[in-house]
Homo-oligomer: A and B are copies of this chain.
Amino acid sequence: MVISFVGVGLIGGSAAITLRKRGFATRLIGVDNNPQHVEQALALGLVDEALPLDEAVKAADLVALAVPVNVARELLPRMLSLLKEDAVLVDMGSTKSGICAVARSHSKRAQYVASHPMAGTEYSGPTAAVDGLFDGKKAIVCEQNLSADFALNRALSMYHSLNMEVLFYTNAEAHDRHVAYVSHISHVSSFMLGLTVLEVEKSEKHILDLAGTGFESTVRLAKSSPVTWTPIFLQNAASVSHALEKYIENLQRFKVCIDEHSAEGITALIAEANKIEKIIK
């Protein structure tokens, strides 16, 4: 199968490596608006050749769209229009309602599959691409009822080849609401934790000295790129804002317990939070 990756960064590049290795892709075409990324993707062998967007879309059996979500929404209608009649376009972005809205009225909507592979690291670009990134993780497909069977099947085959379990969220808004809590505010939490520590601990030496493993894992996501994350927060603004409001309220409750030296209050909040261990092993 000829696959064109539009966006050869962490997500597109990692998928390309694994799909080639597992024989799913016979020819891989890369597209990226960053010339340095194109060079790197070729040098690293992530793709066989680089083409301009239009040619890459026309040449593919499967087009995987793995660019920042603002760019994805912009490119989607033109890409759908260029798609071969029996080809499929899968987008791999972290927000779904904006892009689904743009696709809904397109005459080739049935050839499009709206998806979100839940995998990643805090790094980005072709040099961040790794084999096995998706193994054992979940991929979400939204509005599956608007995709043709052949399109859905091709997308599912790709995700199965990546060794992902596919879950269906018919409603793209429901998907976005959920990921606001389990993915997007994790990132805000981490970004602002990093910022707070940097502001207060002027001496980098101190941070380095005192950073325990707990801090490192909590602040890891703070290295993530604004190119990826700013458009995600903007496209999911209402849900992320709501989630943040709840999060800030809970932090304030905790702070009140500390200020009142309430051992009972602190313990009760921690005990509630501990219930997460039933869910995240």
Binding site for B on A (CB under 8 A): 118-121, 137-138, 140, 167, 178-179, 181-183, 185-201, 204, 206-226, 229-231, 233-234, 237, 240-241, 243-248, 250-252, 254-255, 258-259, 261, 263, 266-267, 269-280
A276 to B250, CA, bound (A): 25
A189 touches B193 (CB 8 A): yes
Main DSSP-derived SS at the A contact region: helix
Given known contacts A182-B211, A279-B204, A222 and B254 CB-to-CB distance under 8 angstroms: no
| 9 closest residue pairs by CB, A with B | A194-B276, A226-B270, A191-B273, A118-B212, A194-B273, A186-B218, A192-B250, A223-B277, A226-B267
A212 touches B182 (CB 8 A): yes
A182 to B199, CA, bound (A): 12
Chain B: which residue is nearest A94 at the CB level? B212
**Interchain residue pairs with CB less than 8 A apart (14):** A120-B213, A183-B210, A186-B214, A186-B219, A189-B251, A195-B272, A195-B273, A196-B243, A200-B243, A200-B246, A216-B280, A218-B221, A222-B276, A244-B254
Please give the distance in Å from A244's CB to the nearest CB on chain B.
5
Please give the distance in Å from A134's CB to the nearest CB on chain B.
11
Please give the distance in Å from A236's CB to the nearest CB on chain B.
9
Q: Which of A138, A204, A247 has the most CB of B within 10 A?
A: A247
A230 partner residues in chain B, CB cutoff 8 A: 263, 266-267, 270
